[in-house]
Structure 1
Amino acid sequence: MSNEIIIYQPDIELEKIEVRIDNETVWLNRHQISTLFDRDIKTIGKHINNALKEELEGSPTVANFAT
């Protein structure tokens, strides 16, 4: 499954969500995630930022090379 697009609509009354799948990875923007989980877009942004912050914290991964 490479570069596949799936339309997700669990209920006729809910907004359709176009889901892009690339190499078994699902790609959604903040609006799509907020629609999928029925949460405010600001809440989704907060959680994404917290996840990214955790990934970037700690000691950097750097290799020292002799020159």
Structure 2
Amino acid sequence: MLKEETKGLVLYQTEDGAVTLEVNVEEDTVWLTQMQMADLFQRDISVISRHIKNVFQEEVEEKSNLHFLQIASSDKPVACYSLDVIISVGYRVKSKRGVEFRR
């Protein structure tokens, strides 16, 4: 459930409260890092990485769906992926959390 939108940041929490994410909103879409997707979909980051690679090869254009954002906890920009990529990865991992996120 999307809880609050402030300064380009939306807080997302799963229905059971097990996962809470700070979701970046920029250019009219949601952006997540691979680590955030791994937490959201309860999969290893290597699984998420493999699915992202396949999504870019088969479904969406990388240029408009990959964005580098400066994150406070990092000294260099971090790769973030658009909502289109997030949803495609969610379908591929066949995760209960993916279904919940899409709703």
Question: TM-score scaled by structure 2?
Answer: 0.43
* RMSD between superposed Cα atoms in Å: 2.3
Q: Distance in 1 between matches of 2:37 and 2:28?
A: 17
Deviates more, 1:39-48 or 1:16-25: 16-25
Instruction: Report the structure number with the largest CA radius of gyration.
Output: 1
Structure 2's unaligned 5+ residue stretches are: 62-103
More helix per residue:
2
Question: TM-score scaled by structure 1?
Answer: 0.62
Greater RCO (Cα-Cα under 8 Å, separation 6 or more) = 2
Q: 1:17 — aligned with what?
A: 21
Q: Work out the number of aligned pairs and report it.
A: 54
1:1-67 alignment, distance < 5 Å? 4-10=8-14, 11-12=16-17, 14-54=18-58
Structure 1's unaligned 5+ residue stretches are: 57-67
Which segments of structure 1 move beyond 3 Å, counting only runs of 4 or more? none
Superposed CA deviations along residues 3-62 of structure 1, whole A, max 9, x for unmatched, are 6201112234x2421101113211000010111111111111001011223367xxxxxx
